[in-house]
């Protein structure tokens, strides 16, 4: 099967209390994380839910944007749609092959992370060193299934509302 060596990676920013969002938006502003997100997702197929796509407001350039929605009539310029995670992954594997990408990036929201977590090989996690109020949370990770392979801690810089760490987790096999 083409693309079988393509990893599935979750890309998420998660606060210390597990919050990933509030009222359809991020509960913080970190310009550094936006740059990190762009770097780890560029030239890869992205899988996201419809609400996540609408909160971004446009397709992300240099990447294949695949939006999961139950609405089969949903369309927007510059995106591909899928009605299930399975359909989205099939399409993402095709797109990864066409781009020679070795990774598919799953970028949210909570329901999509929950569905994709059992299939994920890697997690690019931005740990936000704050506990903001929110209404959307990242799924609980089974620590026995993941090992940390890198961590970089940063103080809040210009354009950042909190300190943060960039962490990479690999699934243990």
- pLDDT tens-digit readout, 62-90: 999 999 999 999 999 999 999 999 999 99
Does 37 have pLDDT greater than 80? yes
pLDDT of residue 79: 98
pLDDT of residue 5: 86
Q: Is 82 exposed, middle or buried (0-12, 13-18, 19+ CB in 10 A)?
A: middle
Neighbouring residues of 147: CB distance < 8 A, sequence distance ≥ 6: 169, 170, 172
Locate tokens 């936006």: which residue?
34
pLDDT of residue 159: 81
- pLDDT tens-digit readout, 4-25: 689 999 999 999 999 999 998 9
Does 173 have pLDDT greater than 80? no
Domain holding 23: CATH number? 3.40.430.10
Q: Is residue 163 part of a domain?
A: yes
Q: Is residue 2 part of a domain?
A: no
Q: Is residue 1 part of a domain?
A: no
pLDDT of residue 2: 44
Structural domain of 115: 7-171
Query: Taking Cα atoms as reference points, which of 126, 123, 127 lies closest to residue 170?
Result: 123
As for how many domains the chain has, the answer is: 1
Neighbouring residues of 10: CB distance < 8 A, sequence distance ≥ 6: 105, 106, 107, 113, 116, 117, 120, 122, 123, 124, 125
pLDDT confidence band for 3 (50 / 70 / 90):
very low
Q: Is residue 147 part of a domain?
A: yes
- pLDDT tens-digit readout, 95-154: 999 999 999 999 999 999 999 999 999 999 999 999 999 999 999 999 999 999 999 999
pLDDT of residue 158: 86
pLDDT of residue 4: 60
Q: Is residue 46 part of a domain?
A: yes
Q: Is residue 44 part of a domain?
A: yes
């Amino acid at each position: 099967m083409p693309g079988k060596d393509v990893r599935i990676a979750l890309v998420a920013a998660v606060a210390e209390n597990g919050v990933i969002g509030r009222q359809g938006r991020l509960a913080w502003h970190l310009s550094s994380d936006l740059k990190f997100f762009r770097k780890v997702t560029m030239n890869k197929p992205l899988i996201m839910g419809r609400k996540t796509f609408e909160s971004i407001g446009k397709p992300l350039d240099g990447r294949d944007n695949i939006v999961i929605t139950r609405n089969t009539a949903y369309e927007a310029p510059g995106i591909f749609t899928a009605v299930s995670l399975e359909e989205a992954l099939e399409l993402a594997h095709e797109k990864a092959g066409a781009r020679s990408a070795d990774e598919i990036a799953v970028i949210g929201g909570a329901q999509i992370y929950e569905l994709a977590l059992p299939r994920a090989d890697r997690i690019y996690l931005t740990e936000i060193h704050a506990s903001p109020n929110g209404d959307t949370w990242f799924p609980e990770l089974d620590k026995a299934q993941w090992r940390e392979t890198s961590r970089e801690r940063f103080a809040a810089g210009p354009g950042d509302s909190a300190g943060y760490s960039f962490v990479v987790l690999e699934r243990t096999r």
